[in-house]
Each structure stands twice: as structure tokens, then as C-alpha cells.
Amino acid sequence: MAQPPKVVLLTMPWTTTIQPSLAVGILIAICAEESVPAVSLYPNMDMTAMLGFEAAGDLAVNRNLYGLSEHLFACDLFGREELCSDEYIETLAQDDLPKRFKDAAFVRHIRDEVVPAFLDGTTRRVLAQEPSVVGFSATFNQIMSGLSLARRLKKVRPDLPIIVGGASYDGEMGLEYQRALPDLLDHVFIGEADDSFREYLARHVAGQPTTGIAGVAWFAEERVQFAPARPLTDLNRSPRPNYDGFFAEKERLFRETGLVFNIESLPFESSRGCWWGYKNHCLFCGQNETSMAFREKDPDRVISEIVYLSARYRVLSLHASDWIISRKSRAELCRKLRDLDLDLGYFYETRSDLRKEEVALLRDAGVLKIQPGIESFSTELLQLMNKGTTRIRQVQFMRWCKEYQIHCGYNILSGFPGEKAEWYREMAAFLPRIIHLQPPRYNTHEIEMHRFSPLFERRDELGVNQWRIREDYGFNFPRGFIDLDRIGYFFSYDCAGVRLEEGYMEDLRVPIQQWIDAHEEKKPPVYNYSLGPGFLRITDTRQREARYLYLADLDHDVFLLCDHVQTLSSLKELLTPRYPAEVASGALESTVERMVREDILMQEGDAILALPIALHPRTTAQLYSYVLGDSCKKAPASQPTLAKAIDDVPPLI
């Protein structure tokens, strides 16, 4: 009796081992729904066991090493002489790389010994599964490892179908790989593969031709054949990912090597696309617009998947793959996460436009790590990026996250066509004022040109003079073998509107580094306040020497209302019932001007915001109630009583 078809899906080097592949997890789940035997293997973990956690981790996540990490496998595929590999490796000593990869002997050891041994062992493991089809998912720097293994598998079993997909095969990249490598690649899945993979499985099991599936390329009649497919519209049809294979690999390697692979988080998805980018694609964002339409799962479905994944795999930390958290459902989702009353922690990407109550809800829900897309503290640069926000609103969001102890992972970017030196110098002068807030992860770096980004798609309009695949990727194919411009995702470029050689970035790097260094000290700088009955106390150590301030009366009330961005007009409207004379006489304007001079408030145009953060966070509604009492519709019942008690306190003589 013939064995049923069996699918083997692989997560190859170089990718991190701290979490399983969401894409592979979903595809394995689809196989189960279609009753097709399938197994997921994680050879990236075997490579880590051979090379060591640090070196393999660097090759997986250090963007400066992406070209080299692909080159190490490209040499097995095409031959090191064909790729001028020795000459390339000798140049690495001049590049901005971790020290170990400037050691030519170490790099050659990986290329000549580790990679071949790894591929030999992985080939045996895959063939032992007796697969009827082998699939590779590739993001950024997994192309060459997959192709190298595919070549070895085809040598043993020429009839074995090889299918590939993932971000590095999206768009014309996948079509060009299919054109250049028809002997290796039977099909390239382009874009979201939920529906196309189901159709492929049905035909494969039935023994029918697998050509002509929308979203799946193939080579015939001396050319690439392809018809695009629409992205999945109902995300509830996407199954819960299956990570059994990942954890089986983890246990296998522990038995074989004694190595413990620590799991940082489990990926899950509650949405796809970007509701902001669909209308306002950020200049540097390399997400394909064909998948930008925002779609989301029902909150109850998300909750059930989170609970299942955590319970099955005994992991407390979960990582949302969403490009952006839902605007429509985020409050409902966070309330449901909060009401689970479990010690689970989550990561989400978000815009920095959340209300303070929403930030508090994130914390209560367990969303303690976010990527908020800060990118800059220059309003002009933010406008150039198409971010739809301003410096003062970025600071507002950072204040609230600091109060609620939510970690923000963000970067400061530079190198935009049309930027002006004075924007960076003005930002450099401003940054010491917010040194008490969380610094960026790294010092500023230039934006890259990524395929699908507006910078790439509108390069002529933006003044890009020349563009080319990033130099370190140029050593991965024999000359003339493939069109590098069509398979590249990372590009170098020249633009008349970018004049970094003028040196203005150095003026910004100094305060950013001081900011980062200050938060690595035992006592990082603080600028906070504590609320007392009718007064507040401010502690300021941003400039090392402590400064203490006490605010009461109008100063106190202006400060609390400016916990979120106000204008003079809004302050007048709020404070007229309580301070009619001060508003009428102009004393309110004078108070605001003085508090700005004293660096208690920041002002940008008409917008005004307090700089110190609360030691004990309170929502906007709660702070309003301290000031406005009964006039605040959201005021807690206890606040009018507090206001009356304060009014009854006699003045200090």
C-alpha cells in the first residue's frame, strides 16, 4: 500500500532560535486541517548547536551581517571561487561587524567546515522523513541556506518537489528566483499563502498538476508563469499555529547535545496589514502594499489562541506579529486579556497616538513591550516620513509609557531626502530635556532603502540618483546569473537631498549616546512628581544636581491638566470657572510662559505639555478631577470631598 504524501517544512539558518516560525506553524496547521501528514523541522537550531549561540545569533539578527550570512551558504551552492569568496572575506575587517567576523580564519571555518557538515546532516534528516514535498520559508537571510539544501536534496531525489515562500520571495523577487532557478524551485508562493497552499495540498494529494494556482509561480515554456492572488480577507479562517515541531526539536537537541534553547516568546497574530500605512505609507516602510489592507481576527478568537498556545507550550510571553495593533478592537482585546487574570506578557506594535487610558489598559492587559514607531523627535522629520504626528505628541506618549512601565523599543532615524541640518541640530538641543524618558535602543542610523517602501517605489520623485543592491549581497551569485535589482530587498542609494557628509548627524549622536549611557547607570536621571493634598513635589536630576520644586494653586492645576497636550485656549476654557480673574487678566498666560522657561512645561506651537512624569500614574480623567472637581463629569466621587478639605486648610503663617 502506497504511503500517503508527507510534507516537510523547514526553518533554515539564519533565523533566531528564541521563538518558532509563525509562518511554518500556520502552514503545519493547514496541513492538519486538510488531513495531510506533515512535519516541521528547525535546522536553524542544529546550526546554532554547531556554531554556538553567540555567533549564530549574530548571523541571524545583526543586519550588517545579512549579506555575509547568505554568502556562507552561497559558496556551497555556486563555489567559493566563482563568488570570489576569499577576496570578499578579507574585506570584512574594514566593515562595521562584530569582532569575530573580522577574523578571516573564523569566517572561512564556517564556510568550509561548518556549513558543509551542517548541510550533509540536514540532508540526511530530511530524506529520512521520506517526504513527498519539501518547503522552505525565507525571511531576509534564509534564501541561500534553503537553496543549498534544495540542491543537495535534488541530487538524491530529482523528482522531489521543492516549494518556497516568505517575505524574501515576495513580489518580483520570487518571480526572478523562479526564473533563475527552475531546476531547483518547482513553485514559488508569492504573498500570503493561506489559500494557495490549501489548493496546492489538495492537488498534490490527488496527484493532479499543481500549476495554475493563483499566487503560485512555476516555470514552463521557457518563462515564469504566474497569476496573482488576493490576500486572505477573513483572518478568522487562518488556523491557530502549530509549534509542536519546534518544541520537539528543542528536546531532541537537548538529548543530543545538552544545550538548552531558551524560548523568549511565542508568536501569534491578531491582525494583518496596517490601517495607517494603507492610507499613509511611511517613507521607509518596506511592507508590500498588496498586503497592506487591515484585517483582524475576532477578539475572542485571539484570546482562545493565546490561552491555548501558552497552556500547550508552557510559555508566558507572547509576541504579536501584527504590523500595528487594531484601532477598532484594541480596547476590547486588552480588556479580555486583563480579565484573564494571568501573568502573561505580550509584545505589540502600535502608533504613538493612544490615549492615556489606553496606555493604562495595555499595562493592565500585560502588554509590557511595544514598538511604537517613534523614529524622531523632530516634527519636520516626522512630517517628511509621513508619520502623522509631532514631537510633543511623541513625548506625551513616551511620558505615559514611562509612568506605566511599558518598555518602548524604538529607533531614531536619519538620512531622508529633503531633510535639513537644522532639524537635527535643533533636536540635539532638545533631547537633554527628555533624558528622564526611555532612550532609543541604539544611536541614530541612516534609513535603508527597502523594496516596497515609498522611498523605493517613488525614488525618482524623491531625488534618488542611483540605487543598487546592498554591496554585501553582491557576492552571493555568479556574475550575470540573476538580476540583482529584481531579487534585492535591501538597497544602497545616493540622493542629492541627503547631505550627511556635512556632519550634522554627529551633533545628534552625542546627546543620544549620553541618553543611552545615562540609563545604564545605577541611578538613571529622573524628572518626576508626587501628588500631595493641594500641591505636588517635583524631583529633577536630569542635570545630575538635584532640583526640587513645589507647585500649588494655579501652577498645580495647569501642570496636572497638561498631563496631556493642551493649548492656551483649552486651558482657559477649563480653568475659567475656577480662576476667572487670572484668566481674564492674562495671569494664566504668564504662568504658562514662566513654567515653560523653568522647563516644567514644553511648548511646540500652540501645544503645551508637562515634562515630569508621575511616580504614581493616574488617568487623564483622574487628574482632571483633582483640578475641576464637580465640574469634571468623570471625576471620582471622592474628589469633591478632597477639594473641600483642601479649601478648609488655613494658610501657613
Query: Residues 175, 135: one domain?
Result: yes
Distances (CA, A) of 486 to 47, 133, 297, 469, 489: 29, 27, 34, 9, 8
Query: Residues 169, 62: one domain?
Result: yes
Tell me the pTM.
0.93
Query: Residues 493, 581: one domain?
Result: no
The secondary structure of 414-462 as a DSSP string is E--TT--HHHHHHHHHHGGGGTTSPPPSSS-EEPPEETTSHHHHTTTTT
Has residue 95 been placed in a domain? yes
Distances (CA, A) of 282 to 224, 386, 421, 453, 484: 32, 5, 21, 8, 25
Query: Residues 573, 493: one domain?
Result: no
Query: Residues 193, 273: one domain?
Result: no
The model's pLDDT over 493-523, given as tens digits with 9 standing for 90+, comes to 988 777 666 677 888 999 999 999 999 999 9
DSSP state of 237: G
Q: Identify the domain boundary among 174, 208, 232.
A: 232
- Distance (Å, whole) CA 139 – CA 74: 16
CB within 8 A of 568, min separation 6: which ones? 588, 589, 592, 606, 608
The model's pLDDT over 128-158, given as tens digits with 9 standing for 90+, comes to 999 999 999 998 899 999 999 999 999 999 9
Query: Residues 25, 165: one domain?
Result: yes
Has residue 250 been placed in a domain? no
DSSP state of 567: -
CB within 8 A of 433, min separation 6: which ones? 542, 599, 602, 611
The model's pLDDT over 227-253, given as tens digits with 9 standing for 90+, comes to 999 999 999 999 999 999 999 999 999
Which of 325, 331, 320 is closest to 360 using CA atoms? 331
How far, in whole angstroms, is CA 50 from its chain's centroid?
29
Rounded to the nearest integer, the mean pLDDT of the chain is 93
Contact 495, 414 (CB under 8 A): no
CB within 8 A of 414, min separation 6: which ones? 424, 444, 445, 446, 447, 500, 505, 508
Mean pLDDT of 451-476: 92
* 650 has a pLDDT exceeding 60: no
Mean pLDDT of 62-68: 93
Contact 446, 500 (CB under 8 A): yes
Has residue 34 been placed in a domain? yes
Query: Residues 643, 511: one domain?
Result: no
Has residue 622 been placed in a domain? yes
- Distance (Å, whole) CA 68 – CA 59: 8
Q: Which pLDDT score is estimated for 504?
A: 78
Q: 46 by DSSP, 3-state: which?
A: helix
- Distance (Å, whole) CA 376 – CA 109: 41
Q: Which pLDDT score is estimated for 641?
A: 43
Contact 605, 569 (CB under 8 A): no
Q: Where are the beta strands (DSSP E) in 535-576?
A: 535-540, 547-552
Q: What is the total count of domains within the chain?
A: 3
Has residue 447 been placed in a domain? yes
Has residue 254 been placed in a domain? no
The secondary structure of 58-120 as a DSSP string is HHHH-GGGHHHHHHHHHHHHH-TTTTTHHHHHHHGGGSS--GGGG-HHHHHHIIIIIHHHHHH
Q: Identify the domain boundary among 487, 518, 549.
A: 518
Query: Residues 321, 176: one domain?
Result: no
Q: Identify the domain boundary among 518, 537, 564.
A: 518
Distances (CA, A) of 650 to 140, 520, 557: 69, 45, 19
CB within 8 A of 175, min separation 6: which ones? 188, 190, 217, 224, 226, 486
Give the domain extent around 388. Answer: 265-518
Distances (CA, A) of 75 to 25, 82, 148, 380, 464: 30, 8, 9, 45, 33
The model's pLDDT over 352-373, given as tens digits with 9 standing for 90+, comes to 999 999 999 999 999 999 999 9
Has residue 251 been placed in a domain? no
Has residue 239 been placed in a domain? no
The secondary structure of 195-223 as a DSSP string is HHHHHHHHHHHHT----S-TTEEEEETTE
- Distance (Å, whole) CA 387 – CA 376: 10
Q: Which pLDDT score is estimated for 501?
A: 60
SS3 content of the chain, % helix, strand, coil (to 5): 45, 15, 40
Which of 430, 318, 445, 446 is closest to 377 using CA atoms? 430
AA identity, residue 643: A
The model's pLDDT over 569-627, given as tens digits with 9 standing for 90+, comes to 999 999 999 999 999 999 999 999 999 999 999 999 999 999 999 999 999 989 999 89
Q: Which pLDDT score is estimated for 140?
A: 86
Query: Residues 71, 47: one domain?
Result: yes
Mean pLDDT of 55-73: 95
Query: Residues 541, 503: one domain?
Result: no
401, 407, 409, 413: CA torsion to nearest 10: 40
Q: Which pLDDT score is estimated for 638?
A: 37
Cell numbers at 563, concatenated = 498631563
Grid cell 509590557 — which residue? 368
Give the count of beta carbons closer than 10 Å to the beta carbon of residue 18. 15
Query: Residues 409, 481: one domain?
Result: yes
Which of 138, 214, 213 is closest to 181 using CA atoms? 138
Query: Residues 169, 87: one domain?
Result: yes
Please tell me the total number of residues recorded for the chain in this structure.
653
Contact 135, 10 (CB under 8 A): yes
